[in-house]
């Protein structure tokens, strides 16, 4: 688009935004006065003339290790699954973008899990993989530790290939499920579950904590102000919430206690602090990371990220957190545009592009640069590392 077209578009957008902003803008240009503009109305277009590489398909087949095709409300005792798309709808996008497998991590428990496996994995064993989840709603029952370990065995027999531990553990689950003190991540009642997972070679995909800014006040200093303002329930500031570091340390104690269990720490574990994540990975050989919904972080520190990928090339998995449900979280909205941004980040040295298919960067107002990984690392990150962890031959 030429610059003049962009200006016209911008002027049209100002008019469309309403009479007040149109008027302010006209006055502003005529009299060279400041023109107030609400932050949420501001959609600056970059004037940089930089290379733009279109990566329609990944250079190698991809295992998306972190997706939510189905969800349930197990915390409130539900085995009922919600399916957000049909296999046919998913396969169309997978085929056009070179996704070989989607791992549906929130596959549910009990009857729900059986339904997920029957609808996704059974008819398409070479395209979908289903994980199970802990029975959070039973975690206050006497005998839970053994019950939970047994359920992992049952889920494995039913076809589940791994276990997803949502940030429910650490931030939502309480001693009386939804009331009482928060249950700690390293609570001993889960030890038999972690051990059983290791014995059955089922990887744990674990999401702990959240972006560091979610633990700070939602104020003018918060770099995720707009995101938190749009989703205030994502804030873990105050109340009885532990700090990011307390959550991280509890998870590390679990990793240390179960060295034969593979833990894939979702969202790069703590994507704002790669030096610290590196220390953890050096200390815990059973720790891997996955990159979903954090290319916004990785891509704004492209040189540090590239070094991180070089050093831990055997322990980084591709994932997106993609869900076909609702577009209000654009950085996770399943579709061709989402995957193409990830590929551009991993494969090219393009600079200053959007990390999500969205008019306004949804996680913070910055843009990212690609890290141009060589083929040898791309292959590992796209599928080889995940295939190893899942025991797949590809
Ligand atoms: Zn997720």
Residue 30: the pLDDT is 59
Q: What is the pLDDT of residue 33?
A: 86
Give 94 Cα–ligand 1 centroid separation in angstroms: 18
CB neighbours of residue 370 within 10 Å: 24
Q: How far is ligand 1, taken at its centre, from the CA of residue 174, in Å?
A: 21
pLDDT tens digit sequence for 320-368: 999 998 778 999 999 999 999 999 999 999 999 999 999 999 999 999 9
pLDDT in tens, 85-127: 999 999 999 999 999 999 999 999 999 999 999 999 999 999 9
Asked which of 192-201, 250-259, 320-329, 358-367 is least confident by mean pLDDT, the reply is: 320-329
Give the distance (Å) from ligand 1 centre to CA of residue 326. Answer: 14
| CB-based burial, 14-30: b 16+ in 10 Å, e otherwise | beebeeebbebbeeeee
Three-state DSSP class for residue 290: strand
C-alpha 67/C-alpha 99 separation (Å) is 12
**How many Å apart are CA 280 and CA 209, to the nearest integer?**
15
Mean predicted confidence (pLDDT) in 30-56: 92
Q: How far is the CA of 166 from the centre of ligand 1 (A)?
A: 7
Q: Which of 323, 318, 324, 312 is nearest to 287 (CA)?
A: 312
Interval between CA 330 and ligand 1 midpoint (Å): 13
> What's the CA-to-centroid distance between 129 and ligand 1, angstroms?
15
User: Cα 330 from chain centroid?
Assistant: 12
- Confidence check: pLDDT of 261 > 60: yes
The whole-number pLDDT of residue 194 equals 98
Residues 6+ apart with CB under 8 A from 272: 211, 212, 297
State the distance from the centre of ligand 1 to the C-alpha of 72, rounded, in angstroms: 13
**Dist. CA 4 → ligand 1 center (Å):** 41
Cα of 104 from ligand 1 centre, angstroms: 9
Confidence band, pLDDT 50/70/90 cuts, at residue 80: very high
127 Cα: distance to centroid of ligand 1 (angstroms): 19
For the chain, give the longest Cα–Cα distance: 75
CA of 323 to the centre of ligand 1 (A): 8
Q: pLDDT digits over 284-308, tens only?
A: 999 999 999 999 999 999 999 999 9
Where residue 1 falls among pLDDT bands split at 50, 70, 90?
Answer: very low
Q: Where are the beta strands (DSSP E) in 56-173?
A: 62-67, 70-71, 82-83, 99-104, 128-130, 163-165
Share of the chain above pLDDT 90, in %: 88
Q: Is the pLDDT of residue 388 over 60?
A: yes
Model confidence pLDDT, tens digit, residues 138-175: 999 999 999 999 999 999 999 999 999 999 999 999 99
Q: How far is the CA of 167 from the centre of ligand 1 (A)?
A: 9
Q: What is the reported pLDDT for 393?
A: 93
User: What does R_g of the chain's alpha carbons equal in angstroms?
Assistant: 22
Mean pLDDT of the chain, nearest integer: 92
pLDDT at 197 over 90: yes
Average pLDDT over residues 222-239: 96
pLDDT at position 226: 95
240-249 burial string, b = 16+ CB within 10 Å, else e? Answer: ebbebeebbe
Residues with CB under 5 A from ligand 1 (ion): 321
């Amino acid at each position: 688009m030429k610059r003049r077209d962009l200006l016209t578009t911008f002027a049209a957008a100002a008019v469309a935004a309403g009479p007040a902003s149109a008027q302010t803008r006209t006055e502003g240009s005529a009299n060279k006065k400041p023109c107030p503009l609400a932050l949420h109305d501001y959609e600056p277009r970059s004037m940089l003339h930089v290379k733009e590489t279109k990566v329609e398909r990944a250079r190698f087949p991809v295992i998306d290790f972190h997706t939510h095709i189905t969800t349930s409300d197990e915390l409130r005792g539900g085995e009922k699954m919600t399916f957000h798309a049909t296999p046919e709808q998913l396969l169309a996008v997978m085929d056009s973008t070179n996704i070989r497998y989607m791992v549906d991590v929130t596959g549910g428990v009990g009857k729900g899990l059986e339904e997920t496996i029957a609808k996704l994995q059974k008819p398409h064993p070479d395209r979908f993989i289903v994980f199970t989840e802990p029975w959070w709603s039973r975690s206050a029952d006497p005998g839970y530790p053994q019950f939970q370990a047994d359920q992992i065995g049952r889920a494995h027999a039913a076809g589940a290939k791994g276990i997803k531990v949502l940030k429910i553990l650490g931030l939502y689950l309480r001693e009386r499920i939804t009331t009482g003190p928060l249950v700690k991540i390293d609570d001993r009642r889960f030890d038999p579950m972690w051990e059983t997972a290791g014995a059955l070679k089922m990887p744990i995909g674990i999401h702990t904590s959240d972006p560091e800014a979610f633990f700070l006040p939602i104020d003018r200093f918060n770099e995720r102000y707009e995101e938190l303002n749009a989703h205030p329930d994502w804030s873990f500031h105050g109340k009885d919430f532990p700090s990011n570091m307390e959550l991280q340390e509890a998870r590390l104690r679990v990793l240390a206690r179960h060295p034969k269990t593979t833990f894939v720490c979702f969202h790069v574990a703590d994507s704002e602090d790669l030096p610290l994540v590196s220390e953890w990975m050096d200390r815990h050989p059973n720790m891997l990371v996955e990159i979903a919904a954090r290319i916004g972080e990785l891509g704004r520190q492209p040189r540090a990220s590239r070094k991180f990928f070089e050093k831990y090339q055997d322990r980084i998995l591709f994932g997106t957190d993609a869900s076909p449900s609702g577009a209000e979280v654009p950085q996770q909205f399943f579709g061709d545009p989402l995957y193409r941004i990830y590929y551009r980040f991993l494969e090219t040295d393009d600079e200053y592009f959007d990390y999500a298919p969205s008019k306004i960067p949804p996680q913070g107002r910055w843009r990212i640069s690609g890290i141009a990984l060589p083929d040898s690392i791309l292959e590992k990150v796209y599928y080889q590392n995940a295939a190893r962890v899942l025991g797949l031959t590809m």
